[in-house]
Amino acid sequence: SQKIEQNSEALNIQEGKTATLTCNYTNYSPAYLQWYRQDPGRGPVFLLLIRENEKEKRKERLKVTFDTTLKQSLFHITASQPADSATYLCALDGIIFGKGTRLHILP
């Protein structure tokens, strides 16, 4: 069956640095991959979508890459801020979700 993994449960990054989160998958070929942000007590909120024929997508300080050969997506937050602290989820075709990575940006 398909499997999706996000590289770490939690990640601590110093403010101002770039945070990089990883999403790997197996036994599946998604048409697109999405990244969501989830704050405590709230539902996930959509951030970015990247399609299988796209290598990279950017939105302000966010960048997503998608390597269908490696079956991997990387999510980058540049110039990170404490307000970026949250759990980030990746999702294959919008319906198969990873467990999420809790990101802490340390002031």
Angstrom distance (rounded) from CA 46 to CA 66: 17
Angstrom distance (rounded) from CA 79 to CA 53: 28
CB 36 → another protein: shortest distance, Å?
A: 8
Subset of 6-65 contacting another protein (CB under 8 A): 32, 34, 36, 41-46, 49
Residue 94 touching another protein (CB under 8 A): yes
Instruction: Map residue 80 onto helix, strand or coil.
Output: coil
Tokens of 81: 């801020």
CB-nearer residue toward another protein: 16 or 46 = 46
Q: Using the rule CB under 8 A, which residue among 63, 64, 98, 105 binds another protein?
A: 98
